[in-house]
Amino acid sequence: MEKLDIRSIVDSKLNYHYNEHVAIFSDFEEVRTHEIPDVLIEGFLFAVVTHGQAQISVDETTYQLGVGDVITCKPRNIFEHSMMSMDFNALVLFISPEYVSQLSQMVRMEWTYSMFSSSHRILHADEIVVSRYRLYFDLLRNHLSSPDTPHKEYSMRLLMASMAYDLHDLQRAQGEEMLRQKYSSGENILRRFMQHLHDPSLPYLNVNEYANLFNITPKYFSSVCKRLTGRAANQLISDEIVRSAQISLRDSSKSIKQISAMLGFKNQSHFGRFFRQQTGVSPQQYREGRTL
């Protein structure tokens, strides 16, 4: 399995522009002529199909993509069984998790939670919206290839914030339920929680430990999560642990015992009980492809 991060993009044969946190590419000529491996996404991915068709599998669900389809994907997702037509092309933006955390402070909480909460989304944009994204990508390419100026970095963040609002409007137009901005203090807690929860370098904590980290009571922390997301804090934590476990179980180089230790479980039996409770199958059954 290959990884997609800034380093791998730089080492690839793709026609790209990049800095330490952002990369864009829009030429799939080299990719179309080779077998496409399974890819682990190690950042936030935003793509707009501009020509042709493709097929991808994400979270064990297969999607057919055509012109105008917009894909958003958060870190630690696997693109499997990908195929594309010989005329396929797309605008692709890769952003590091650290940069998205910085960007989330510039935009409304709806977008922040939307980016962190959903594993992936596939929407459809009309010709006008696709044309606008072409302009965004042209401006980003220009920024990335131009010399540094005092306000270059801020300009890029504003540009990507504009793209985020357009994506937010597209989600609303297609009937996706979005959050309403209500409680600024609660939003700040939720943003910090989401950033911590999705940082692969940090361990998973329980509800009490997260509450202590934010200097609030567990009851208040739980109420913030429920009020702003409609879901309990412990379920948000469990969902992310399960997703990480599923990705690791697809990697045959790690034993189930190693995975349970990596995820912070006391022992393999504890991990097995948790995984079966959340998914309906044991870790070994999931690894063997026996899912419910």
Q: Do 215 and 146 share a structural domain?
A: no
Q: How far apart are CA 39 and CA 94, in angstroms?
A: 13
> Contact 230/239 with Cβ under 8 angstroms?
no
Q: Is the residue at 292 inside a domain?
A: no
- Shortest CA distance to 162 belongs to which of 99, 111, 96, 92? 111
* 63 and 127 in a common domain: yes
Give me the pLDDT at residue 2, please.
Answer: 77
- Is the pTM higher than 0.75? The answer reads no
In a domain, 179, yes or no: no
Average pLDDT over the chain reads: 82
pLDDT over 60 at 109, yes or no: no
Q: Are residues 195 and 139 in the same domain?
A: no
- DSSP codes of every residue in 200-253: TTS----HHHHHHHTTS-HHHHHHHHHHHHSS-HHHHHHHHHHHHHHHHHT-TT
Whole-number Å distance between alpha carbons of 79 and 62: 10
pLDDT at 31 over 80: no
Determine the 3-state secondary structure of 182 from DSSP. Answer: coil
For the domain that residue 243 is a member of, what is the CATH number? Answer: 1.10.10.60
Do 208 and 151 belong together in one domain?
no
CA distance 90 to 69: 10
Of residues 68 and 244, more confidence is placed in 68
Do 167 and 193 share a structural domain? no
CA distances from 11 to 41, 66, 98, 291 (A): 15, 28, 21, 36
Give pLDDT, residue 69.
Answer: 94
**Whether residue 243 has pLDDT greater than 90:** no
Q: Report the C-alpha gap between 192 and 184 in whole angstroms.
A: 12
Helix/strand/coil percent split, the chain, to 5: 50, 20, 35
Burial readout 258-289 (b: 16 or more C-beta within 10 A, e: otherwise): ebbeebebeebeebbebbeeebebbbebbbee
pLDDT digits (tens, 9 = 90+) for 80-98: 878 888 889 999 999 887 7
* Whether pLDDT at 79 is above 90: no
- Closest by CA position to 5, among listed 34, 32, 29, 40: 40
131 and 199, same domain (yes or no): no
126-162 pLDDT tens trace: 999 999 999 999 999 999 889 988 888 888 888 888 8
Predicted local confidence at residue 277, as pLDDT = 92
Alpha carbons within 13 A on the beta-carbon side of 185 = 6
The predicted pLDDT at position 26 comes to 76
Q: Tell me which residue range forms the domain holding 246.
A: 184-287
What does the alpha-carbon distance between residue 128 and residue 133 come to, in Å, rounded to a whole number? 9
- What one-character DSSP code corresponds to residue 36? P
Per-residue pLDDT tens over the stretch 163-188: 888 887 888 787 654 444 434 577 77
Domain count across the chain = 2
